[in-house]
Structures are given as C-alpha cells and as structure tokens.
Chains A and B, each alone.
Chain A
Amino acid sequence: MSLAKRIIPCLDVDNGRVVKGVQFVEIRDAGDPVEIARRYNLEGADEITFLDITASSDNRDTMVHVVEDVASEVFIPLTVGGGIREISDIRRMLNAGADKVSINTAAVFNPEFVKQAADKFGSQCIVVAVDAKKVSQPGEPYRWEIFTHGGRKPTGIDVIEWVRKMDEYGAGEILLTSMDRDGTKIGFDNDLTRQVSEAVRVPVIASGGVGDLQHLADGVLLGRADAVLAASIFHFAEYSIGEAKAFMKSHGIEVRD
C-alpha cells in the first residue's frame, strides 16, 4: 500500500456564491460554498479546490470570508485559484485558511512570480494552473500550447517546456486543464496528461472533460495523473465521490477509503 490517488471536486465561486448550480438532494442552499464543501468532505473528497471567478476585484474579500468559513470546519487541504496575482493575494488566502493557491495567468505574464511565491511560502502551497490546447495538425507529433483568457488567446509557449520551467521555478504541483476537453464530458486529454506527468518531478492534477467515472480512472491509468479534478459530475450528483473512489479502486487504483 502506498500513496493514494486523489479526487478533487472543484467549485466555481462568483462573489461568494457557487455557480454552475450544484444540485444535491437534501441540501438547503445549493449556492453556499460552506455547505457544499462540508458535503464533499463527508463524501470523502481528498481536497477541495475553489476557483474565484468574481469579475470585480472589489468583491475579492468575499472569497477570503468563504475560505475562512470553510477552513473552520473542513479539515482537508483547500486550494484557492482565480485572481492570484501578487504576493499579498497569496498571503491573504493562506491566512484565511487556504493550504494552497493556484496561479495561472500571473505565471504566464511573469514567471518570476512563481519563484518569488515559492521562495516566500514554500513550494508545497504553490500550484501552477496550466491551460493547454492542442496545436499540432493531424498526423504531426502532438504539441500543446499555453492559452490564456479561458482558452481564447494563444501565447506561443510550448506546454512541455513550460511545465518543466514551472517545476524548476518551485511549483509544488501542476493543475493541468485541457481547454479542448473542458466542458465536453468526453474525458481528459490523456496524451497531454501523460506527457506532462512524465516531464515533471512534481504531482500533476488532471482536469477538463470528465463525464463519467471511467474518465477519472483513465486520467490515472492512461494519463498517469496523481490526482483528478472534476466539477459537474459531482455537483449534479450524477456520481458521489464515494462512488468515484469505489470505481477507481475496482480498477486497481489506490484511493483513500
């Protein structure tokens, strides 16, 4: 027995409320991040990731309160992403009770920020989020590029070179989202995940495209991911985290019971 593969539900939070509608039976307030986090914790989630999609920076304090409230009663690792641009943003989230922050756009525009953040707070709490899109033509060897602005803007940066650099700069973990698969429910881009996972020393979280439990297992078995992240299949109670774990276990994957 050894290290378990992790299952991480992800919640999009806009101005303190969970969006993309979470649908649970027996839940009083489907928009309350604290109540949903509590529920996922009871179901056996290994970590919880919050993505702050609040557009206005004036409302960013709301996220701090959400993290504070969740951290007072949910005792598993909590990650916060979205709008992390400065050292002070990281400090605020960690002080509120987050264990890790995920840095996306700010890393692309200023890679040194990752170095500074890891030096200051330790690699263990710095996740670099990577939005990747396949740019190779059919018949060519696969190649993926970093995109920003929700997958709309290419940067010209090769994904494999980028994740190696982020590993070297002190990222403690890579959260890898396939922008080709995000929202499609046809499964992770397992070629992408495997290439990234083999390119870096640090753990890789696969994200983007999960539609069923086989997809989660494939992320680990084919993509060699260390953790799998999903949103909608858990939110809409299509599957519980317990069912996801039982399925993965039946496919020979080590999970936390």
Chain B
Amino acid sequence: MQKIAVIDYGMGNLRSVVKALEHVADDKHEVILTSTPEHIFEADRVVFPGQGAAGDCMRAIDEYGLRDTILEAAKSRPFLGICMGMQVLIEHSEENQGTECLGFLPGQVRYFGDKHCDSQGNRLKVPHMGWNQLKQTRQHPMWQGIEDGARFYFVHSYYLQTEDASLTVGACEYGFEFSAAIARDNVFALQCHPEKSADAGLQLLSNFVNWDGQP
C-alpha cells in the first residue's frame, strides 16, 4: 500500500484535495490527512495545500511545528504544492506587510495591485478568480495527458515572480504573464487548484499519484 499524505495545518478547506486524490487513486493507494510528522515521513508522496493569507499560513506551520517536516519532505519524495502551498515554499511574500516564507525555492510573491489592468488598459478584478489557461512552458511528467493551454481554476490575489527561469514549467496570463507552475527535482507546485479544475485537474492529480519524482 502506497501512502499519500495531505498536510493539514488548519489552513482552509482540505477536504476537496483529499476527495479528489481518492477519486483518482487506485486501491493500492491510501490518502491520509495529517499534521503528524511521523505520518508525513511514512508517506510515499506528500501534498502541501493551503488557502488564506501568507502570514496566517506561516504562523500555522510553526504552531503545528511542521516547518522542518515540510522542508524535509520537499527534499525527499514526490511533493505537490497547491496555491498557498506553492507560495510559502518561496522566500518572501508581500502579503500581510511582508511575510518571510519557507525559502525552499527562490522568488518573490507579489500583489496584483488595486489598479491591475490588461494590455489594453481594461481594469482587471482582484482576486484573479476563475478558469484561466495554463501554458506548459517546459515539458514535465506532470503534464502528461493534459492539453497545453487547458483551463484550470484559479483564485488568488498574489502571484509568483521568480528570477530563476529554470523553475517555471507553466505560465498564466492575467494582465501579464506570471509563473503558475514551478518544478525542481521531486517538487512540483502550482498556483491553481487541480482539485477544483474538473478533468484537467484530476489528470494532474492522477499524474502526481503515479509520478516517480524525476523531472
């Protein structure tokens, strides 16, 4: 039996992540929602979701005593960051007057801004909420069976900016192009919610369940 641990640190609705993973996993996989380091280390693969504000997320990670566990898991097995789970892997976020994050990957998380516009000057709503296209900028096993440009469900007011171009495997356009999926070694992380993105999202989760962690 292979174990997939979904890290529970009290941030938001993790039920749908678990349900979607259970939906795509076969009977050789067990999905567990856990905040216990031992259970996370026992798992063959780890999902790190998250919702809400960066400041709250970082506080919750430390209150649950999970900082080292998350960093260790991200170094050692197939690891999937979703939404805020992707943002806090980065060095720093502008949210909550500036929040120091886990610093596992290089980059900054920035606010779209109250006057966010598209290239024609039309005002864009913040949060960026709804179905947008995910452009596959680099090949990756996690894209298998997913059409380049398939729509995924996004909801976020902050976006990732990274100086390290080799990190980005997927991009999304909202006023400008931002890094919407990143990958390094055994880590894959994305801004959108695969658990809410219908068939494309389920395919991505299914790919994760079968991913060997090689880029």
- A residues in contact (CB < 8 Å) with B: 1-6, 41, 46, 71-73, 75-77, 94-99, 121-125, 172-173, 201-204, 226-227, 256-257
- Inter-subunit contact A75/B13 (CB<8 Å): no
- Residues on A with C-beta less than 8 A from B196 are 75-77, 99
Q: What is the minimal beta-carbon distance from B35 to any residue of chain A, in angstroms?
A: 15
Q: How far is the CA of A204 from the CA of B123 in the complex (A)?
A: 13
- Inter-subunit contact A4/B197 (CB<8 Å): no
Q: What is the minimal beta-carbon distance from A92 to any residue of chain B, in angstroms?
A: 11
Interface string of B86-125 (1 = CB under 8 A from A): 0000000000000000000000000000100010000011
- Residues on B with C-beta less than 8 A from A5 are 130
Chain B: residues with Cβ within 8 Å of the partner, total of: 37
With A4-B132, A121-B12, A121-B52 known, 12 other A-B pairs at CB within 8 A are A2-B118, A73-B23, A76-B196, A94-B12, A97-B16, A121-B51, A124-B127, A124-B155, A172-B155, A202-B125, A203-B125, A204-B125
Q: How far is the CA of A77 from the CA of B153 in the complex (A)?
A: 8
Whether A6 contacts B201 in the complex (CB less than 8 A), given A75-B20, A99-B16, A122-B52, comes out as no
Please list 5 pairs of residues, one from A and one from B, whose beta carbons are closer than 8 Å in the complex, sorted by A's number: A2-B118, A5-B130, A76-B198, A97-B16, A125-B13
- Inter-subunit contact A46/B125 (CB<8 Å): no
- Inter-subunit contact A123/B13 (CB<8 Å): no
Q: How far is the CA of A6 from the CA of B130 in the complex (A)?
A: 7
Nearest A residue to B149 via CB reads: A1
Which A-B residue pairs are the 10 nearest by beta carbons? A122-B52, A256-B131, A94-B13, A4-B131, A124-B155, A256-B151, A203-B125, A3-B132, A97-B15, A203-B129
- Inter-subunit contact B16/A1 (CB<8 Å): no
Q: Is B146 an interface residue (CB 8 A)?
A: no
- Inter-subunit contact B15/A122 (CB<8 Å): no
Nearest B residue to A120 via CB reads: B52
Q: Is B202 an interface residue (CB 8 A)?
A: yes
- Residues on B with C-beta less than 8 A from A96 are 15
- B residues in contact (CB < 8 Å) with A: 12-13, 15-16, 19-20, 23, 51-53, 114, 118, 124-133, 149, 151, 153-157, 173-174, 195-198, 201-202
Q: How far is the CA of A203 from the CA of B149 in the complex (A)?
A: 23
Name B198's contact: one of A41, A123, A226 (CB within 8 Å): A41
Main secondary structure, interface of B, reads: mixed
- Residues on B with C-beta less than 8 A from A125 are 12-13, 51
- Residues on B with C-beta less than 8 A from A227 are 130
- Inter-subunit contact A123/B19 (CB<8 Å): no
- Inter-subunit contact A201/B125 (CB<8 Å): yes
Q: How far is the CA of A1 from the CA of B19 in the complex (A)?
A: 31
- Residues on B with C-beta less than 8 A from A6 are 130-131
Nearest B residue to A44 via CB reads: B198
- Inter-subunit contact B129/A173 (CB<8 Å): yes
Identify which of A172, A201, A257 gathers the most chain B CB atoms within 10 Å of its CB: A201
Q: How far is the CA of A124 from the CA of B155 in the complex (A)?
A: 7
Q: What is the minimal beta-carbon distance from B109 to any residue of chain A, in angstroms?
A: 15
- Residues on B with C-beta less than 8 A from A4 are 130-132, 151
Q: What is the minimal beta-carbon distance from A219 to any residue of chain B, in angstroms?
A: 15
Q: What is the minimal beta-carbon distance from A138 to any residue of chain B, in angstroms?
A: 31
Name A2's contact: one of B23, B129, B155, B174 (CB within 8 Å): B174
Q: How far is the CA of A58 from the CA of B33 in the complex (A)?
A: 30
Q: What is the minimal beta-carbon distance from A86 to any residue of chain B, in angstroms?
A: 17
- Residues on B with C-beta less than 8 A from A95 are 13, 15
- Inter-subunit contact A124/B129 (CB<8 Å): yes
